[in-house]
Chains A and B, each alone.
Chain A
């Protein structure tokens, strides 16, 4: 089994850990809602409605399906990295 060098810390700081996990879950929900919106929402479900709007030579729905959603995915991951690094620090859980 793995080593639990942080086990006694868990005992001492249970409240802090609970808060850490709750905040993490909140970030996940927010980011995954955006993930769903740009791909399944804008790219698939509402694609026809959005296609009536133009973005240069693109119909907007088509652009989300073949370009925009991918850009947003990249931004989502880097946002998560930034949020979690900050959370690790404020919760005193960051690695050395």
Chain B
């Protein structure tokens, strides 16, 4: 059977599964819509969090990115997993004990201020929209490549599906579809990885094959071979980095704190019954994420080796079929500069004849390794699962911010639960349409926006929440000033160095040599310092807020706190 038929069958089957789950798990109250009723098993929540977290970027782009970055790719690997340690130790248990529905709920109550609540709502919406646009685009790209429909049609199909289960089921529907999506995406990621590991190194476990010997008769370790190939072609050694140490550290830290501060991840910990469940489900989540995140760098090294040995100095007329397939999508381009009919793939841009889009490293990997067609179709279904699960989680945050944090908490406090639920569904519906619009008309700054989402989460939420728990003296003046200044500083730096606004600037002008991707760390520190200084110069928070902080530090009584 050809790739396209396989893709129709596998993608169709997974979509039918998601729709079935959505019909089975309809939400009947706001509590079900916002936090799935608060009774989700920690293991289930761990699976759902892992799918929620791993986006189209993790599934499709990350291994390719690392493949081209070598050692420097570690910023994503450590940044996007280390954040869970912060989440489990510094945030999740306490927010669960606090026991409301959203992150702005916590900020608004802890800082006894609707200004703080509104700042948090705005940050949550900006962060979520910048993130969701990329997911919708990812859905479109996968559809376009594997089912040969226009990208826009792919976006519409994705919108329709997310609309169905997010609007109908809210958090309840999303939780159980995410569990299914995790299973699909991890299976789809691991199968080709295992195949390729066996082919290349003879080891069934990719993480072991990564450090194993290459099966080409040379007896060399794979990474040594790759380093050698890189040096021969004039590239930086694969296992050493090109970025500055400070920048690597700053990006890693910004991604960690951003991960811990992303509202769609935090909100998942409101769905479990007890404080101890919040702790352990962070552990399960990271374990399930780590399966993909420790496999990804192995895939990167395998794919890199495969690519170089397949194309370098080979005759263009003899290239395998996948090469021309992907050439037609424009993601691979070959220009015979010296007219020798061979492919020169080298570091020097004047001599190099091959350009490769990083995204195809995962998508084309099964074809490069000549795996069966069903494996290729499986990768398409996995990419869709990753994009859809993350999109749904983000859309829920947006709809909740509107119906709960703005309408119920500020504009119309007296509406009934049923009306609030209606607002939540309407919010989700509007958010799907807006996200779809961004998917079809991607803003030119998409590359900047993902870094921006993490930078903003690190510069706004992370310090405000951590200090809200660990510093009883922190008051609304300090927290609001910190969030506003941290956010504005982050926006300023991003606009200046990514979009060339405010006079622009080159990498040589970066403050302390820190890239816009890593600047979230600096903005976070500024937020922290501003908050601490201002809070100590203004009145202490009211007695009942201090008592609330005291009570969230001890686990007993979380069940009662669920009541609203």
Contact = CB atoms under 8 A, between A and B. Distances in A.
B82 to A, nearest CB: 5
A57 B213 contact: yes
Summarize B's interface: helix, strand, loop or mixed.
helix
A53 interface: no
Nearest to B42: A81
Interface string A55-96: 111110011011101110110111011001100100001111
B547 A4 contact: yes
B163 to A, nearest CB: 34
Contacts, number: 161
Interface string B535-564: 000000000100110110111111111010
B212 A56 contact: yes
Interface residues of A, number: 52
A51 B227 CA distance: 13
Nearest to A67: B294
Interface string B196-219: 000000000001001111000000
B211 A63 contact: yes
Nearest to A14: B550
Contacts of A57: 210-213, 221-224
Contacts of B551: 2, 4, 6-7, 10
A88 B276 CA distance: 9
A23 to B, nearest CB: 12
A21 B276 CA distance: 15
A69 B76 CA distance: 12
B544 A94 contact: no
A77 B286 contact: yes
B89 interface: yes
Contacts of A65: 71, 74, 77-78
30 contacts: A3-B561, A9-B556, A21-B553, A40-B252, A43-B78, A44-B248, A51-B239, A57-B212, A57-B213, A58-B223, A62-B240, A65-B71, A66-B71, A70-B77, A70-B78, A70-B81, A70-B290, A70-B293, A73-B81, A73-B82, A73-B290, A74-B283, A76-B89, A77-B84, A77-B85, A77-B279, A77-B286, A80-B89, A81-B283, A88-B555
Given A28-B89, A57-B211, 16 more contacts: A1-B109, A3-B557, A5-B560, A17-B554, A31-B89, A40-B252, A44-B74, A56-B221, A65-B78, A67-B210, A67-B294, A73-B290, A81-B280, A85-B276, A93-B556, A95-B559
